[in-house]
Structure 1
Amino acid sequence: MAIPSRIAHLGHVELLTPEPERSLWFFTEILGLTEHSRDGDSVFLRTWDDYELYSLVLTAHETSGLRRTALRTTGQRELDELVAAAEAAGRGGRWLGPSAGLGPSYLCTDPDGHEIRLYWETEWYQAPEGLRPSLKNQAQAYPGRGVGVRRLDHVNFLAAEPGPNGEFVQDVLGGRVTEQIVNDDGSVAAQWLTFTNKSYDLVYTGDWTGSNGRLHHLAFAADTREDILRAADICLDHDVFIETGPHKHAIQQTFFLYVYEPGGNRVELCNPLTRLILAPDWRPITWTQAERAKGQAWGLKTIESFHTHGTPPVEEVPVAEA
């Protein structure tokens, strides 16, 4: 039984890249994020509708992948309760001191080893002259550059076993399963979980290589389906690798485009903004292997790389299709 959510929303992610300059070009010029600040090998980037200082920390590294995912709590008491719950579940970690616009935060891990950063105190963004919007209920002026993504939408983790990770998000963090894929043997192949009325914030997908702690993709939301179509043209014109889409998912009905940023990480551009989970007693939608094998909403088959590509890269091993 899931506890009431003490998580307010997905805050930001720290993404690793072996191509820092080219990755920075992708996120600023193609996606339209704005550089906020720098610290050592890290660049702090923000989407235009983010009330916090940044949505993405882009860090130069020897390989690609996800360093950590940050979740903001609904208050200080809730942060302390989550720390206690993580430690009681054997997922405890360590406190981190204030840094980069955040107060003290707590670093724990899910069962697969992905780092989760929990925090409450945060600095609200104040737009400087030149980025100040005309409307006071908007954090930053629309950049009018690239895709112009509105916000960081969700993170899809690869996991050797999605089931225990989904249980961790439910039992410790208070998330809810909205949809899932269950294999014929009863094991969970993938789960979509939310902390709010969004249809999902975190996803766990089975890693066919059997590896731990990898990233499948991170996703940024755009306002309309037309933005996703335009994103495909922008990526085509600038030699950004398009993996699949534009198309519509059957699961969650998200309109999507998947591309690889220059560092090798998969990025989804999506339009999920109209679908909300309003029922307090929502019953998770379960998809079978046979239903999943039909492909996406309009008949597009899921391409092979969607099951095999993740970051950091590992040596691929032969696996049976699920």
Structure 2
Amino acid sequence: MDYSDLTQLLDRLNSSVLVPAQRFFETLPPEAIPIILAAAGGLAFLAALAAYLLLRPAKKQQVRSPQNPEDFADFFKKNGTIMDIAAAGLTERIIGRAVVTKIKDDGIRLEIIEDTGISKVTAPAELTLMFPPERFGTSRVNAFNSKIQNLDCNEDGCGRVLLTPPSGFALVKRRQHKRKRVVDQQFIRVKIWRGKPKGDAMAFADAAPDLAVNSYDPRASGHEINQVINISNGGIGVSAHQGLIDKKFNINDDVLINIFMFNFRQKIFKPYWYAGRIRSIEELDGTSYRIGVQFTMNGIMRDETEQNIDWSGI
């Protein structure tokens, strides 16, 4: 629109709307003005309310809990449930994670979002898929069995898997060690290095950590917002900024860990050394990740001056 067209439009708006409105207000008695303004305000409020009701997001529909075995696949699909995958009978070793994307009469199709070994399994191997506990009849279940019908893989890994319909629902024990949630971060400090025990002389103890939690090191920055989530006799879970995790840590990486924890009985901080393996990396909120580490070896400092560590299996 050029300048002349804009001028004509403004002149027409002024002559057809603003001038008649001004003349109308001039004919009204002074005591009528507040009433008209109040009415206009009320109409504006009703218009805004109508716009809000029309444009507000629809209330999320609550997905009904499964009532029989046939309902579970649809329940998982609607909820976007992420399920851990293990070989049948070996529920402690997770070989992948997946979500249900399609339901068929003869099976269910899942999208694999994390491959930690499922690409090495072939049809018709039997799998156990584990999910958050759900009420089923008078009991609770958190797993079912299914067999592989087809595994869609290429050189980059496996992306989809077609399984037989779920069967054999059960409640399986998921954790060998009870986790303790860390509430107060000031009583625990953690340093993590990539690598594995190579001998007695551990130079890594003097090196800047690849990941630090509540542990200041002037040679490493960006670790301030990291936190310890939980800890158990079998491992530790920490949250860290994604910039410290991307392209640095991967699932099944070997790591060396120093945990500096406050002993309330002795009123001092005590160091604990572990070798471990990263078992899970999960996105939390778009800016941070949760890393789960399983302890594989226990370390005892033999000589604090030379920082030699003796390692033993757990």
Shorter-chain TM range is under 0.3
**Of the two, which has the highest radius of gyration?**
2
Structure having the larger proportion of residues in helix: 2
Structure having the larger proportion of residues in strand: 2
Q: Report the TM-score, using the length of structure 2 for normalisation.
A: 0.23
Q: Report the TM-score, using the length of structure 1 for normalisation.
A: 0.22
- The higher-RCO structure (CA 8 Å, 6+ apart) is 1
